[in-house]
Amino acid sequence: MVASTVGYRSEDAAPQLHRGLPAPWLTLIFSLEGPVVGGDTPDQALGAQAYREEIIVGGLHQRPAYIVQPSRQTGVQLAVHPLAARALFGMPTAELRQSAGDGASILGRPAVEVHERLRESGSWDGRFAILTGYLRQKAEDSGRRAEVRPEVAEAWRWMACHRGAGSLDAMARHVALSRRQLTTLFRREVGAGPKQVSRLMRFERARQEVASAVAEEPAAGRAAGEAALDLSEIAARCGFYDHSHLVRDFQHYTDLSPSGWIAEERRNIQAGGHRNGEEWDT
């Protein structure tokens, strides 16, 4: 149900505006030193209309989110499988997308108590143990109410195996449904059609490949922002029509070109930040 759990801590860092990218999983954050401050645009994140929450639940998004990162922060961030939303959050992802944000309201008093325990814990092992116990209890309590239509679960597995590159017709045949039936079931469960989810998975694979290529290049081998990879080759490998198709999807999901995103994220990539959450398809 959980693709990755990442504990993070930074001190004396330069405050900055972080660009959080869409991904084929849900986000659960417990911030342990003050609220997470952000918005759908840079202006919102930096203005009076920014959201400020210590527990964040985020749904499947198609656009980047902007987070104000302070000089000091500590927390835990989880990447949750969208089909686990019923079990862990008490509602399907489709409903979560409409109410995402304030995790305390969505998850209730038990999550607030977990947040307090996480703050009091003196070790990362202790924090991860607290979260594991909490999530297991949520899954056990949900029982049959958490079950997802088997056609949707199998279609998601098929998409993940193809890394978003398979066709909708082939997917529908695989689960013995029409395109329309499959799209209706997907929208009801996750709030997006299978074509949208496939596109998001395909972009995520390409983003990982771009990041891996940047991480492997010599530290002083390229000027900042200069692409150290063949985007046409990555586009072909990841199921895009061509180089331009990949660039358009990068611009849609990041508000930047691939080279612009590399320039912005180079330090984080080379520090290993791109590895978090790469097991989303297993």
- Which pLDDT tens digit goes with each residue over 86-106? 999 999 999 986 655 789 999
Are 273 and 207 contacting, i.e. CB atoms less than 8 angstroms apart?
no
What are the boundaries of each domain within the chain? 2-146, 149-282
pLDDT tens for residues 56-70? 998 888 999 999 999
Beta bridge partners of 37: 52, 68
Q: Give the pairing of strands 36-39 and 101-102.
A: unpaired
What token pair was written down for 66? 């902007």
pLDDT tens for residues 106-131? 999 999 999 999 999 989 999 999 99
Q: Is 2 helix (H, G, I), strand (E, B) or coil?
A: strand
pLDDT given at position 224: 46
CA distance 239 to 246: 9
Higher pLDDT, 226 or 274: 274
In 162-238, alpha helices (H): 168-174, 179-190, 194-216, 231-237
CATH number for region 2-146? 2.60.120
CA distance 176 to 186: 14
User: In terms of CATH architecture, what is 149-282?
Assistant: Orthogonal Bundle (1.10)
Phi, psi of 189 (to 5 degrees): -90, -45
CA distance 268 to 69: 13
Beta bridge partners of 9: 74
pLDDT tens for residues 143-153? 878 899 999 99
Q: Which of 126, 129, 131, 185 is nearest to 155 (CA)?
A: 185
- N- to C-terminal Cα distance for the chain? 10
